[in-house]
Structure 1
Amino acid sequence: MIETGRGHLPFTLVHGEPLVAAAAWALGEAGVTIVDLGTSWESIEDADTPFVLHDPLCPMTPPTFVAECVRHAEESSAVTVGVRPVTDTVKQLHHDRVGDTVDRGELVQVVSPVVLPAAVVAALDALPTTDFAELVAGLARRFPVETLVAPAEARRVADDADVRVLEALTAP
């Protein structure tokens, strides 16, 4: 789970638990072994299993979706990425002028998880970055990458207001 570089937000409460705890629960329920960032890449490589990256800013990603992504990565041997459709209007920027509207039907937002098949882990010297969008873009230059549309509960939060919306969306 990647909580570094995300400020205080991973420790904000959702349903009475820190986002990071909710995300860890989902990994455990999905049958994923949790490792911390201090774990050596060699240890991850030696495990010879898919490596699952989960962002606590997508804390309510259902365990069933995490497990589905792991199965997909194992079966396809492709890096498997949870994504959500982009719903905001996106504009091109030309120097300091706003340009045309980008067709958002062509865009996705990377959420959680990102699953690296064992063969991809073995081909890397280390995890290149913990920025999920950057990671996926870099991996796509070297390996097959396939996306699975994540459920709405897997949405990424950017601030406390987003956490409140996610909490309302996932209320029991």
Structure 2
Amino acid sequence: MFDLNSHSDLLLQCKAVTEDEPDLIANLANISAIIFDGMADINWAGFYFSRSDDELVLGPFQGKVACVRIAFGKGVCGVAAATKQLQHVDDVHQFSGHIACDAASNSEVVAPIIVNDKVVAVLDIDSPKIARFSEQDAAQIAAIAEYCQQLDWSQL
């Protein structure tokens, strides 16, 4: 049994649950559930899909109702998609252009998922706690997103 409080075990559990399953949506749903259940003090964990060159659309997630569409360059998710870089934000209220899908969110980490040099999705984790995510947390989220690049994205 995995210790869900251990960062490496989150990634190991994501790998274990997706290893023999080819369906992308099922895998991403389970990965969002693993993160949501395995990380303390978070209120949202999930994915936004890149449906065009300039817009993200809500994918599998755990948490409250979320924004459905986010333009590239807008909010933390949109900036991650536009720049292809991890966004680690201690206080979203200080982030220029922050989109408040859930008013309870105060900190956020968003990792782009890049396949063939194209952002296919972002992995978004929110917390109601300011500065909730350490550098180690952000690196773990980035590692999970990097692992997600190996899934079958041709299904989208």
TM-score scaled to structure 1, two decimals? 0.27
Q: Name the TM-score, length of structure 2 as normaliser.
A: 0.28
Larger RCO (CA under 8 A, 6+ residues apart): 1
Larger Rg: 1
